[in-house]
Amino acid sequence: MKAALMLTLSRIVVCPIFLVIYLFYYKIGIDVRIMPFILLALLIICELSDVFDGFVARRKNQVTELGKILDPMADSIVRLSVFLSFTHGIIKLPLLLVLVFVCRDAVISTLRTLCAMHGTVLAARTSGKIKAALQGLSIFIITSAMIPYTMEVISLAFLRKISIWVVAITAVYTVFSGLEYIWTYRRYIRQAWA
């Protein structure tokens, strides 16, 4: 298997590890004060693999059609898995906020299929890149905010309030990004509708 593809798949493998450590740290013997640092390390691994898979693919001429599909899919799987795990455990995000991310990704996947049916590749737009960066940043902020909570510097209520505000702001931009994609590729939606 090509190195770039293995790096992409490694991000997907990290998802269940993140989920298990976040939700069941006490059952597997991880101290609550250590848990956020392990989660941050896993997130850093995901981000580095995201950077390096593209670099390796271009450098070693390993750009493949499968890689073009799997790379954004792996990003979505990682982010959605983390946000969904945050609806439980310590953070307890409102599920409706996280569903904004799920619905947006589903709409864009459908739009990508519609475009492909007409021989057009749904190109990554600036709003989509900003959305991805905001989602990644919000995950890092929430995970980092768990550190002062586990050290009893901030309260659980304050941690949850920070988390909700960060995700709400990200959700608003996520909706904007989805609408921008729909507007840009509206011709294909009209053709499919007809």
Residue 192 has pLDDT above 90, yes or no: no
97 shares a domain with 187: yes
Largest CA distance in the chain: 59
Q: State the chain's mean pLDDT as an integer.
A: 87
Q: Give the per-residue pLDDT at 63.
A: 66
155 shares a domain with 123: yes
- What integer is the mean pLDDT of 8-16? 84
| pLDDT band, residue 67 (cuts 50/70/90) | low
Residue 39 has pLDDT above 70, yes or no: yes
Residue 64 has pLDDT above 70, yes or no: no
145 shares a domain with 115: yes
45 with 14: CB under 8 angstroms? yes
Domain boundary (56, 77, 98) is at: 77
Say how far apart CA 50 and CA 72 lie, in whole Å.
9
66 shares a domain with 148: no
112 shares a domain with 54: no
The more confident residue out of 134 and 7 is 134
What are the CA-CA distances from residue 191 to residues 6, 176, 186 (Å)? 37, 23, 9
109 shares a domain with 32: no
Q: Give the per-residue pLDDT at 62.
A: 63
Residue 65 has pLDDT above 70, yes or no: no
For the chain, percent of residues with pLDDT exceeding 90: 54
Q: Give the per-residue pLDDT at 66.
A: 65
> 90: which DSSP letter?
T
For the chain, percent of residues with pLDDT exceeding 70: 90
193 shares a domain with 97: yes
| pLDDT band, residue 33 (cuts 50/70/90) | very high
- Owning domain of residue 145: 86-194
Residue 51 has pLDDT above 80, yes or no: no
Residue 1 has pLDDT above 60, yes or no: no
Q: Give the per-residue pLDDT at 75.
A: 84
Q: Which of 119, 78, 124, 121 is nearest to 101 (CA)?
A: 78
Say how far apart CA 16 and CA 31 lie, in whole Å.
19
Instruction: Please write the tens of the pLDDT for every residue from 78-134.
Output: 999 999 999 999 999 999 999 999 999 999 888 888 877 777 777 678 888 899 899
- For residue 23, what are the contacts with CB-CB under 8 A and spacing of at least 6? 85, 88, 89
